[in-house]
Amino acid sequence: MSNDTALIDVDNVSKYFGSVIALQDISARVAEGEVTCILGDNGAGKSTLIKILSGVYQADKGSYYVQGKKEKFSSPRDALELGIATVYQDLALCPLMSLWRNFFLGSEPTKGWGPFKTMDVDFAKRTVVEELGKMGIDVRDPDQAVGTMSGGERQSTAIARAVYFGAKVLILDEPTAALGVKQAGVVLKYVVEAKKRGLGVILITHNPHHAYPVGDHFVILRRGRVFGDYTKAELPLEQLVQMMAGGADLEVLQHELERAAETTGDEALAETAQSLEAEIEVLDMGDQDADS
């Protein structure tokens, strides 16, 4: 990834909460027209990294560059002014309000002047239909309440809103976590659409099967550190799944299966435990390579 295409570049960023090390020496880059996937299990440091990138937290150590210029955000508004938009899991949408009202919430278009200024409802409705259409979403009625839309449609609306208001970098916090297979596929389709429009997309997820089809670059976090940093060409899906699984977690599962097999005499459980042992050895070798 070349320097001149980096929209965001974090260099050896660390964050501490008292004696707790939330992030330690994290380096990552986000390029224009690429999807960078930040993967990790619960407690890996994904949420802390999002909050640093979006201006909620300030890093205690390290540097943060936006298009080559060193920045230090004091609030999310600072990040937003530079085109860094974050779509959180709760989406910041009002279920009982219409689609067009949600789209322009806080930035309502107006017409007229002075005391005669009013909200330009026709422009708002027309814009919503056009902008969501660019993302491949067919809006039947802009007056439809957001609460009646599917989870995938709500996610896609939040993405389209961020793009419309000038986002250059789009940070998506677990956008498919609460969705079924079909709706997750819909959201991932719109992630690709955002990428095609030249945005740098940061996809935060713990699901490698959702990240791999759309990702160009993968950063795996474990216990607040970068466990791996790969391009798609360097990382087969099977290896990504293994790295996400975690050797310690698999070892606990293996022991539980072995105890269950001894208690019940179930040969299938014993065979499963033996197969996990081979995967644990592969992961332990990966850990040793990462530490060396």
CA angle (248 as vertex; 266, 258 as ends), nearest 5: 15
Paired tokens of 183: 């709706």
Element at 25 (helix H, strand E) = strand 20-31
Q: Of 23-32, 76-85, 172-181, where does mean pLDDT reach its minimum? A: 172-181
Predicted confidence (pLDDT) at residue 201 exceeds the cutoff of 50:
yes
**pLDDT value of residue 240:** 86
Predicted confidence (pLDDT) at residue 290 exceeds the cutoff of 90:
no
Short-list 41, 38, 35, 68, CA closest to 51: 38
Exposed, middle or buried by CB within 10 Å (0-12, 13-18, 19+), for 224? buried
Average pLDDT for residues 91-99, to the nearest whole number? 85
What span, in angstroms and rounded, lies between the C-alpha atoms of 105 and 23? 34
**pLDDT value of residue 248:** 54
Per-residue confidence band for 1, with pLDDT thresholds at 50, 70 and 90: very low
Per-residue confidence band for 5, with pLDDT thresholds at 50, 70 and 90: low
Distance of CA 292 to the CA centre of its chain: 29
Question: Is-contact 226 39, C-beta < 8 A?
Answer: no
Element at 237 (helix H, strand E) = helix 237-245
Question: Is-contact 50 173, C-beta < 8 A?
Answer: yes
Percent of the residues in the chain that have a pLDDT greater than 90, as a whole number: 39
pLDDT digits over 127-148, tens only?
Answer: 999 988 877 778 889 999 988 8
**pLDDT value of residue 24:** 93
* Kind of pairing between the strands at 110-111 and 118-119: antiparallel
121-130: long-range contacts at Cβ-Cβ below 8 A with a sequence spacing of 24 or more? 124/100, 125/100, 127/100, 127/103, 127/164, 128/99, 128/100, 128/103, 128/104
Per-residue confidence band for 245, with pLDDT thresholds at 50, 70 and 90: low
More confident residue, 1 or 70: 70
Question: Which phi and psi (to 5°) does residue 114 adopt?
Answer: 55, -135
**pLDDT value of residue 285:** 54
pLDDT digits over 49-78, tens only?
Answer: 999 999 999 999 999 999 989 998 989 989
Element at 138 (helix H, strand E) = none
Q: What order do you get walking across the sheet with 61-66 strand by strand?
A: 20-31, 6-17, 61-66, 69-70
**pLDDT value of residue 188:** 87
pTM of the complete model: 0.77
Per-residue confidence band for 231, with pLDDT thresholds at 50, 70 and 90: very high
Predicted confidence (pLDDT) at residue 11 exceeds the cutoff of 80:
yes
**pLDDT value of residue 2:** 43
What span, in angstroms and rounded, lies between the C-alpha atoms of 252 and 258? 10
Element at 169 (helix H, strand E) = strand 169-173
What is the average pLDDT value for the chain, to the nearest integer? 84
